[in-house]
Amino acid sequence: MSVFTNWTDEHTRKFHNDIIYVNHNLESTGLFTDVALAEMLDNHPDNMLDVCTMGTDSMYPNQFRTGDFRGCDGKSLIEMVKAGKLYINARRAMNLHPEYNEVLKKMYGELSEKTGNKGFNANGGILISSPIAKVPYHTDRQHVVLWHIRGTKRVYVYPMTDKFISDASYEAVVTSTLLDDLPYEVAFDEHASVLTLNGGEMACWQLNQPHRVVNETFCVSIASEYSNRESALKNSAMFAQAAMRSKFGSTPVWQDTVPSIRLAKAVAGKVLKKSGLYKGRTTPDFVTFKVDKSVPGYIVDIDPVPRDF
Would you tell me which residues interact with Fe ion (CB under 5 A)? 140
Which residue is at the shortest CB distance from Fe ion? Answer: 140
CA distance 134 to 244: 35
124 pairs with which residues across the strands?
224
CA distance 180 to 64: 11
For Fe ion, the closer of residues 48 and 267 by Cβ is: 48
Closest CA to 184 of 162, 208, 165: 165
Whether 156 and 213 have beta carbons less than 8 Å apart is answered as yes
Pairing of strands 87-90, 49-54: antiparallel
Query: First and final CA of the chain: distance in angstroms?
Result: 39
For Fe ion, the closer of residues 212 and 265 by Cβ is: 212
CA distance 75 to 255: 48
CA distance 107 to 3: 6
Strand order in the sheet with 286-291: 20-23, 201-204, 143-150, 219-226, 123-129, 87-90, 49-54, 64-68, 286-291, 299-306
For Fe ion, the closer of residues 150 and 211 by Cβ is: 211
For Fe ion, the closer of residues 140 and 292 by Cβ is: 140
Quote the least distance from Cβ 135 to Fe ion, whole Å.
7
Quote the least distance from Cβ 64 to Fe ion, whole Å.
12
Quote the least distance from Cβ 105 to Fe ion, whole Å.
22
Quote the least distance from Cβ 144 to Fe ion, whole Å.
5
For Fe ion, the closer of residues 73 and 140 by Cβ is: 140
Q: Give the torsion sign (CA, 94, 95, 100, 103).
A: positive
Residue 43 DSSP one-character state: T
Quote the least distance from Cβ 152 to Fe ion, whole Å.
18
For Fe ion, the closer of residues 72 and 135 by Cβ is: 135
Quote the least distance from Cβ 274 to Fe ion, whole Å.
27
Quote the least distance from Cβ 137 to Fe ion, whole Å.
10
Assign 73 to helix, strand or coil.
Answer: coil
For Fe ion, the closer of residues 86 and 240 by Cβ is: 86
Whether 282 and 177 have beta carbons less than 8 Å apart is answered as yes
The single-letter code of the amino acid at 221 is S
For Fe ion, the closer of residues 34 and 140 by Cβ is: 140
Quote the least distance from Cβ 243 to Fe ion, whole Å.
26
Q: Please, is 225 exposed, middle or buried when counting C-beta atoms within 10 Å of its C-beta (0-12, 13-18, 19+)? A: middle
